Amino acid sequence: MSKAVVLDSKFEKSGEIDLPDSFSEIHSHNLYLYVKSYQAALRANTAVTKTRSEVSGGGKKPFAQKGGGRARAGSTRSPIWVGGGVAHGPKNNRNYFQKVNKKQKKLALNFALNEKAEAGKLLIVDNISIESGKTKDAAAYVKSLNVRDVLLVKELVDEKSFFAFRNIGNAYLIEANELNGYTAVAFDTVVIEKSVLETLIKEG
């Protein structure tokens, strides 16, 4: 059974919360498929080239078929000519969407949280809040955790906390409904409010 570490207000270990046994029974392939789908959805799909039929010009045969001592050519828009079309180039009409159903999305998240817990990198706090709204206070908060980078999961993000954390490179603050398998594994450590974890365990 995996255990999430509970931290007190001084960021010292004050207890543990057991994750359900079902979390450890999930196959890793669920997370793989979700991350693959998530990254595919991020693709801009803007790269596009023109074929020889789409570039302008090239209507006239550039030189006679025979007698010049050169290889025959029918158009200056051929892919082998400078300024010609591109053979087998990228097109922006490709659909990269990969379907992942709700159940598999949930399994991916639960597996990711279980992996973090087993590594001792799933930390639970009562509340994530920077009342001053100052970046220096948020930076001190992250420094106190003594981690490489951290995903902070808050039930509802307030404006002051959002502004405090937004310019910190190794910390990312999100609301509970934004948490998924990809965001959970993208960071070294996950710090999550106790109420959010309890809801996830109840739904899990």
The helix, strand and coil proportions of the chain, stated in percent and rounded to the nearest 5, come to 35, 15, 50
> How far apart are the C-alpha atoms of 154 and 177, rounded to whole Å?
9
pLDDT in tens, 57-78: 888 899 999 999 999 999 999 9
Region 47-56: what's the mean pLDDT? 94
Percent of the chain predicted with pLDDT > 70: 100
What is the rounded CA–CA span in Å between residue 145 and residue 125? Answer: 11
CA distance 76 to 1: 69
> Binning pLDDT at 50, 70 and 90, where does residue 203 land?
confident
CB 173 within 8 Å of CB 161: yes
Block residue for tokens 């809801």 = 199
Q: What are the chain's domains?
A: 3-43+100-203 (3.40.1370.10), 44-95 (no CATH)
- Tell me the per-residue pLDDT of 4-42, one tens digit each, with 9 for 90 and over: 999 998 889 999 999 999 999 999 999 999 999 999 999
d(CA 97, CA 38): 9
